[in-house]
Chains A and B, each alone.
Chain A
């Protein structure tokens, strides 16, 4: 993607030296530094920091939404950032995941399995549906991908866009099954932590108002899922599959000639991306306990893509930051009347969010098309380390000689 020449290669700013330091650490050391950081982020909704928290809406709910968007961004990043396949219908997979859970557990669905005749236990229905949702979305990715991934990039973009719309229209039109525009209500959720104070469990949508509300619980749960998915995706990235993706992204023809089975690996990227999207959709269905087709518009697809591009496609941490910006910023301004004493009209700023996102995208594409935290090829890093090591040795040899 980047056509940086040798001259404007990374020179090693603060970010770069931090990255080198991080990459040089051993795995346990990385965990030792990373775990407190993750813990701090997890505790953010409880700390209630004045300038950081949202005033118009509940901060826990915002963070829960951020968790879902972060998962989506990681999944879409596999497709767009790593394999270089432009997917404009990613919301379709999100919808498939959400509807799988809703169809299996909502009392208004004809396929409800939670009742006395169903095979799902009421308390654990949601958790049991999570792998089913992931599997079904993976299957839908396979079904969509296998005929369309032979198409070139631009065609793929529009076909996936069509797919996203088809999923939404199916949900809207199959009224007997999905309830159409009325949606499916009372979707299952993990019924954990049932006490007298919370008769429906801490994950219930009824647990609102306090600082430690259901949003925070969902946020913590999504952090766990994000870490698992990140480990999985990170391992893939460092494997033969990840190298094949990079090769396909940089030059598909060259990769094919070099013996990379491009179609197979593109399909892999598509299916893995889809299943992560489905997982996020299942989270959404469980958190809101209610799904309607209007939540799965193409505009959402575009927002997801914004998160990936804004953060830096190809970089896992970057896309999580992108997801945070997309979710947090509009909510930050909602209901806020002043920042550091400067009076602002937060509500109208939040209302204009798409206008600002659009402008931000346009400006960003001109000045920083690689995103806020751009990806840097590991290969380049290896090359630089080799270069540094070689120079160090030759200097040492020089010193030997002068002695």
Chain B
């Protein structure tokens, strides 16, 4: 009875091909490109991990904070007089860096502001009511819908159709990808250098801020034990706001780097999958652990790139999720463990 069914399962052509040869040939190129994606994941993942460490909350709306950052830097560039055309502007190195810096600050300001606003409007009322964690998560999902649909429908009406809407924005490209040098036969472009450099500086800065300053000590204290931290004179509300601000700022920075890499990615739904992957990265490294998030982001970016060549482009996202499930099965607290509170005192 089941004979034909089983037979037809085996007679179907294998739908996945293992292109090991291409992986071998492109190994270094894939690693370098993967690192530049991974750096972006890492910066977004920090926002998830810090909020989780302090509040034990999956800030589902963080992906929309990132998306707002993309629109923020885009609006700043438009205000600076760049018209969206898809062509590359060549303004000279110094001027380009200057403009990129302003766009970076714009994106960070929008994302940081939105993150703090979200905390104020959505999460604080719940904290006052001592709501259980599922309620926070549902609120985060609701906020995510609201922000997405705001950019989808309301923003184009506010800006006369220049921002937001159904389709992706026409890119404003300041930097043309140019090979700078080759490393193990792999070409390293200026965009890769900018992304890796900026991400490294930001990650180092964040790590120093959390591990070596007074504010960072407050964050770690609240993550470890909110009640004791409050008794010791740490303002919990201020720490929470600071955490959201920090996560938002990094997401805004990541937004600019992402638009350098993927100029056509500025769309209302563009944050969603990236946000899920960044969360995967945070879990991968051990959620609540700052360095874990950075490491997890890099690993995820590189692995995804390998998988994309090994199995085919459509399997890119599958690789990320399967990797997440595997890591959680064999090491349920992530690679580095959950240790924001216990990192360094």
Contact = CB atoms under 8 A, between A and B. Distances in A.
Interface in B309-345: 312, 314-315, 317-318, 320-322, 324-325, 328-329, 332
B144 interface: yes
A155 B328 contact: yes
A166 B322 contact: yes
Interface in A82-115: 86, 110-111, 113
B132 A1 contact: yes
Contacts of A166: 318, 321-322
Interface stretch (A187-195, A226-234, A316-324, A350-358): A350-358
Interface stretch (A262-270, A279-287, A361-369, A377-385): A361-369
B231 to A, nearest CB: 23
B15 A361 contact: no
Contact of A147 (B1, B144, B325): B325
A39 B1 CA distance: 41
Contacts of B133: 153-154
A151 B332 contact: yes
Interface in A274-315: 298, 302, 305-306, 309
What is the interface residue range for chain A against chain B?
35 or more
A162 B328 CA distance: 12
A126 interface: no
A158 B279 contact: yes
Contact of B146 (A155, A157, A302, A355): A355
Contact of A163 (B122, B141, B321): B321
B131 to A, nearest CB: 6
B318 A1 contact: no
B325 A369 contact: no
A3 interface: yes
B129 interface: yes
Given A86-B134, A158-B283, A172-B314, A150 B332 contact: yes
Contacts of B126: 365-366
B276 interface: yes
Question: Main SS of chain B's interface residues?
Answer: helix
A8 to B, nearest CB: 12
A375 interface: no
Of B122, B280, B320, B324, the most chain A CB neighbours within 10 A belong to: B324
Nearest to A369: B135
B321 A365 contact: no
A174 interface: yes
A396 interface: no
A113 B332 CA distance: 42
A359 B287 CA distance: 28
B82 interface: no
B322 A169 contact: no
Given A158-B283, A165-B276, A169-B318, A369 B142 contact: no
26 contacts: A3-B132, A86-B134, A113-B5, A117-B4, A119-B1, A119-B2, A147-B329, A154-B287, A158-B58, A159-B324, A161-B276, A162-B325, A165-B317, A169-B314, A170-B318, A173-B312, A173-B315, A173-B318, A298-B276, A358-B142, A358-B145, A358-B146, A362-B143, A362-B146, A369-B129, A369-B131
Interface of A: 1, 3, 86, 110-111, 113, 117-119, 147-148, 150-155, 157-159, 161-163, 165-166, 169-170, 172-177, 298, 302, 305-306, 309, 351-352, 354-355, 357-362, 365-366, 369
